[in-house]
Structure 1
């Protein structure tokens, strides 16, 4: 009878720690290949530029070993424990994985952004170390421990949808209609994870689990579907891409790179369906432990990345001096136009906006003067070495929509920078106040951070990464998303590419 080796507690913690660091700066190899192909066939100049920036950012992150995205995600771990596995630890697996997450996110060499708030209902204070992790454990045959480790950002996680359909309903129709309404906050192009059947919680878990599977849509398209499930995957893939949403919602040929589906038997009266998208910062890795030491992770070949050159010279966009903004200049900006921003801007997200609005309503002065200024919706990663700031990509702007009606006229704020579309009320407020909304590319955080020349927290420091910073930038590349007349690129762009 074979003797099973003991799996050391240290090997579990070290392996998960290394996995979290590894996925923070390495895209999966297949994702790079699929994204490169999308770049090569894209006909929309705006979408092609966005995909190009994501690829350049991905290569920079891989070489510099710094996060792909400023939202370094909530830790998600699916663990399959072999029933014959022997684990040399008396601690719960949750405790071991939390320790690994703590070490990975507080690393001195590559600190990751802590995004978890410990109390979701009331204080919503940041846990400071991104714990606890979201851990799911399954007992399976065998004598090994298998892990799928991923880091899931809030922008794509927030677009999760669930429904219980009638058994005679079309899952494909529901998915396509749902994706059409999601907007661009999940940072396409990415992957759709779909769970069908089981129970409510089973469906959601399957949709999350299936996102960790290797991409194979090209193989299916080349040889043709070999099962009814593959036929449904291809149908959804083609119909979603035909919506014309495109990279970052700008309008284009590719919205999804693959569609993954997992199903399970369900009640005869039910058809539960869950949809979870993965964004352009797709991050996951699989490994197993057998008692012979910690997992080893092999970096992808840097030659897998295409040589994409992004032109950020004066000829590639209109130069804008943020320290001398005027209504006349803003009036000249057109949706889809590239701008290169230089000068001073402030940062601020949900929590900062809420405090500023509370101060205004109480008749109190704001800690910063926003008149004729720009605000960037960002929660950056801490810097290391000689960095001015860590990766600093945009967050989803719709979360700030509710504040604009009061904030814009009260402060004189003229420019907002974020990602994805704005809602109707926000667009009306932008037009009414002759302001403008610009977008930076979600998934290009490390690239964007290289335009930052200085960064200093100036207010609400207790909010951590959501504090207000004063930044000085030089040639920060952005695109006009909503002009001062209320025309949105997220409306006119996809309309051109819908097919």
Structure 2
């Protein structure tokens, strides 16, 4: 029996699924994250997990993005050989991109366009987040099944690959790789591991495995039934014993689950790929059977734990408008702050432009003296919003600019996510600055702390322009203090010992 799948149903279903996953975590992720929250003993990590859970529920209710990085879209399409595709003006890949375009330009929940068409030179943004990464497979059956995933750049950038010796330990290599990933992938999340095949096959296996439901809690409760499940548990437990914790701040949970997919390989080879998925885990699956577009159901509000909003009782309140270098010299790594007042924003493209201007001796369009700069590329606002979701981006990408920018501009400090490298820390210490970390995966919650927003410079860069935010009680943790102490070094060290 032949099933007819129309172009309209295909495009509508992909667009609806991408909109849905932009503001809905998978229920299995929420269950596992809630469990991690209940057992977390590290105060900074527990606060970060709480913010992610609160943000998750706010996004589901407000239908706004979980993360400002609404991802590069990955789509896996399996077309049954008894299916007739009707009305497709071009390829299945073109149809998938039509769905992506519609989803990301939806005026009720416009999503951030992050895709640049030329990866080497102009890096011009395509404006609609196309093209997606689309994989099409012809399989037996009379239905079309589709997995959609929106993969943030912070986690995608931390993917790892190696060809091991057949006698090597896969578990040892993976556990060694995780600290090298840093915290830019926004743990706690999950790891997709692909083993076998060839280089490209192993990477594809790892990516596809991230679309599977989290089941580590159930797996550990009943025990492994085969060697692969035992390996999953072993890698999961060994990674969490590293003490990296939520956002790399030190704690008991770094990964919520570990998925492993395998494929036959050459006798001389053992390709191994690792792809992490972040705290903004976003994916969904649907099936088209010829009976109209797919529908995804929302989760019950009871799924989320009832957590109070962060009250900041134990946090130091900071007035950014009167802040001095003497003030920040009293802050210590691991201390929590609530920021109020005006702060600047800027990320990769703005930093590159500023760096070029400084190198040429040109005046800058913004006065950075005694200011904080927030590494962020916000989502466009809708309705009555001041700004869309605006969580931090990975700070290590700005490390190479710190040595020139900090002394030349008079900045007091920076706000972002994840650790800073030695070059940036040296610049922080040498200039009496600080680095503060906001919670990756809490973008909508953070946006509610922004009272006003305006573009000050580089408007042509879109979401990478320099904005001025006026914030009230924006929660951060001192990640690197003016003496060079880093919570991303000390926190995991303490909790690794505690876990031993």
Asked if the contact 2:435/2:480 (under 8 Å) is kept, the reply is yes
Q: Deviations over 1:177-220 (max 9, x none)?
A: 00021110000000000000001111000000000001111121
What pairs with 1:32-71 in structure 2 (closer than 5 Å)? 32-71=30-69
Shift of 1:462: 1.0
Shift of 1:327: 1.6
SS in 1 for 2:163: strand
Alignment correspondent of 2:228: 229
Match of 2:384 in 1: 386
What is the CA deviation profile of residues 51-100 of structure 1, one whole-angstrom value per residue up to 9, with x for unaligned ones?
00000000000000000000000111011111111110342011111111
Structure 1 counterpart of 2:101: 102
Q: CA RMSD in A?
A: 0.7
Matched-pair contact (CA < 8 Å) for 1:312–1:475: no
1:142 aligns with 2:141: yes
Measure the CA separation in 2 of the matches of 1:38 and 1:287: 28
Counterpart residue number, 2:441: 443
Say whether 1:468 aligns with 2:466.
yes
How far apart are residue 365 of structure 1 and its match? Answer: 0.8
Q: Deviations over 1:295-348 (max 9, x none)?
A: 0110011110001113334x2311111111112210111111111111111100
Check conservation: 1:159, 1:277, Cα contact below 8 A.
yes
Task: Give distance in 1, aligned partners of 2:142 and 2:251.
Answer: 47
TM-score (norm 2): 0.98
Residue matched to 1:477? 475
Partner of 2:21: 23
CA distance in 1, matches of 2:396, 2:309: 28
SS at match of 2:265: coil
Residues 6-28 of structure 1 show CA distances to partners (whole Å, capped at 9, x for unaligned) of: 11110000000000000000000
Aligned mates of 1:41, 1:100 — CA distance in 2: 40
- Quick check: 1:365 aligned with 2:367? no
Describe the SS at the equivalent of 1:77.
Answer: strand
Residues in 1 aligned to 2:13 and 2:411: alpha-carbon distance in whole angstroms: 47
Q: What is the CA-CA distance between 1:360 and the residue it aligns to? A: 1.1
Q: How far does residue 257 in structure 1 lie from its aligned partner after superposition?
A: 0.3
Equivalent in the alignment of 2:393: 395
User: 1:396-435 residue pairs with structure 2 within 5 A?
Assistant: 396-435=394-433
Partner of 1:86: 84
Question: Matched residues in 1 for 2:43 and 2:95: separation?
Answer: 47
Q: Which residue of 2 aligns with 1:495?
A: 493
Measured after TM superposition, the shift of residue 5 of structure 1 is: 2.8
Give yes or no for contact 2:389–2:444 (8 Å, CA) kept in 1.
Answer: yes
The CA distance in 2 between the partners of 1:86 and 1:246, in whole Å, is 49
For residues 146-161 of structure 1, the aligned pairs below 5 Å read 146-161=145-160
| TM-aligned CA deviation for residue 30 of structure 1 | 0.5
Equivalent residues in 2 for 1:33-432, closer than 5 Å: 33-90=31-88, 91-313=90-312, 315-432=313-430
Q: Quick one: distance in 2 between partners of 1:166 and 1:469?
A: 50
C-alpha contact 1:312 1:477 (8 A) present in aligned 2:
no
Paired residue secondary structure (1:212): coil
Whole-Å separation in 2 of the counterparts to 1:66 and 1:93: 28
1:396 and 1:310 map into 2 onto residues whose CA distance is 25
Is the 8 Å Cα contact of residues 312 and 340 (structure 1) preserved in structure 2?
no
Q: Is the 8 A contact 2:232 2:260 kept in 1?
A: yes
What is the rounded CA distance, in whole Å, between the counterparts of 1:58 and 1:438 in structure 2? 23
The number of aligned residues is 496
Distance in 2 of aligned mates of 1:166 and 1:5: 46
Kept in 2: contact 1:458–1:468 (CA 8 A)? yes
* Matched position secondary structure for 2:210: helix
Q: Which segment drifts farther, 469-478 or 188-197? A: 469-478
Cα deviation code 1:420-469 (max 9, x no counterpart): 00001110110110000000000000000000011111111111110110
